[in-house]
Amino acid sequence: MQLSNTSQYAIRMLAYMADKKDSPLINATELAKVLQIPYKFLTKIMTELVKADLVVSMRGREGGYSLSKKASDIKVDDILNIFHDSIQEEQCVLGIGFCNGMCKCALHDQWMEPKLLLQKMFRESSLEDIAGKGCKI
Amino acid sequence: MQLSNTSQYAIRMLAYMADKKDSPLINATELAKVLQIPYKFLTKIMTELVKADLVVSMRGREGGYSLSKKASDIKVDDILNIFHDSIQEEQCVLGIGFCNGMCKCALHDQWMEPKLLLQKMFRESSLEDIAGKGCKI
DNA sequence: ATTAATTACTACTTTAAGGTAGTATTAATC
DNA sequence: GATTAATACTACCTTAAAGTAGTAATTAAT
Ligand code: SF4
Ligand code: SF4
């Protein structure tokens, strides 16, 4: 019951960038150092974020990354979707096929409420909402 | 954000056994067939449940498995604990170290409520509560 | 006693996530 | 133009979960 490492890293990377909205570009070396994420793995993830159009990159000397849109327009769920970590409507906590609404599984009734709250949290939290909140980054 | 296959299987296995409380012993072949779980993997998991004292086994011909206690005395969380899948108090949705209550991470405030509901669901749901509920097993 | 049916044990294979290494490409600075 | 510092690409390695295979141990029925 936890997000994948990749998703966790991506959220933290983007949240940090949102927090540093003054600096036009942020480079991978700084991110890896501050967030304690393996440099090579970070750049791999970042390239996916660029392809998914959440981030724009500038190559070459003095290059780096920046958010492609306003922090308030990037939701946590947008990030999870890239890595197939978003909670789907029919997702069963016991993983027995899909939910058809008629044929429930054993934990269905208790699962609905936290599932909705998680979906809400991911869909409604934007980078702006979480940037700079708390001391853990 | 899903339980491991192993935990999902274990919950379904035990829930099925709880539902079949008439039959004194249930064997692995039947379980694997009904629950559509690979036989060899199922017996591997079951052996762990035996070692954890949730299940007692009878070897030899006419042998099988049965719950070691009343279905109402086995909570879903007891099962998750065996496979280290239970949600810990300090578990961070962003996986940044442990929570000290003072130094929050970015999603802390939104994570508290669904986390509590999940813990509640796992701790308060017993096998009796979920056995035979719904048609998905 | 032998056989058949069952769980337990040991060891291996497969798969996917996580992580690493090396090189190519790009662009500002000198 | 050469150098340097950055991202992008390709390919590989590592680790843990998931799954498989074969054999040993146990017990009831015959
Ligand atoms: S029964 Fe409930 S938990 Fe199972 S798939 Fe349907 S919605 Fe999900
Ligand atoms: S800050 Fe919140 S989410 Fe992060 S570790 Fe502490 S309790 Fe968990």
Q: Is residue A48 part of a domain?
A: yes
**Averaged confidence pLDDT in chain A:** 92
Please tell me the distance between residue B108's alpha carbon and the centre of ligand 2 in angstroms: 5
Ligand 1 site: residues with CB under 6 angstroms? A 90, 92-93, 99, 104-105, 108, 111; B 136
Kindly report the nearest CA distance between residue B132 and chain A, in angstroms.
Answer: 7
Q: How confident is the model at residue B1 (pLDDT cuts 50, 70, 90)?
A: confident
The answer as to whether B92 is a domain residue is yes
What value does the mean pLDDT of chain B take? 91
Contact residues for B13 (Cβ-Cβ < 8 A; gap 6+): B31, B35, B37, B42, B45, B46, B49
CA-to-CA distance for B17 and B71, rounded, in angstroms? 9
Phi–psi pair at A67, nearest 5 degrees? -65, 145
Identify whether B68 is part of a domain: yes
Number of domains composing chain A: 1
Q: Is residue B135 predicted with pLDDT exceeding 90?
A: no
Task: Report how far apart, in Å, the C-alpha atoms of A33 and of each of A5, A48, A135, B37 are.
Answer: 17, 20, 16, 44
Given a cut of 90, whether residue B65 has pLDDT beyond it is: yes
Give the atom of ligand 2 at the shortest distance from the alpha carbon of B92: 8
Per-residue pLDDT tens digits for A116-136:
999 999 999 999 998 887 777
Residue B135 lies in a domain: no
- CATH number of B62's domain: 1.10.10.10
- Does the CB of B22 have a partner CB in chain A at under 8 Å? no
B113 close to A (CB below 8 A)? yes
Task: Indicate whether A106 belongs to any domain.
Answer: yes
Is residue A122 one of the residues assigned to a domain? yes
Q: With the C-alpha atoms ordered B69, B73, B76, B80, is the resulting torsion angle positive or negative?
A: negative
Residue B91 near chain A (CB below 8 Å): yes
CA distance B47 to B55: 9
Which residues constitute the domain of residue B71?
Answer: 5-130
φ, ψ (nearest 5 deg) of residue A22: -70, -55
Say whether pLDDT at A99 is over 80.
no
Is A137 within the bounds of a domain? no
* A91 part of a folded domain: yes
Q: Give the closest ligand to the alpha carbon of residue B97.
A: 2
pLDDT of B133 reads 77
Q: Which of A35, A94, A122 to mutate to test the interface with B (most CBs of B within 10 A)?
A: A94
pLDDT digits (tens, 9 = 90+) for A49-84: 999 999 999 999 999 999 999 999 999 999 999 999
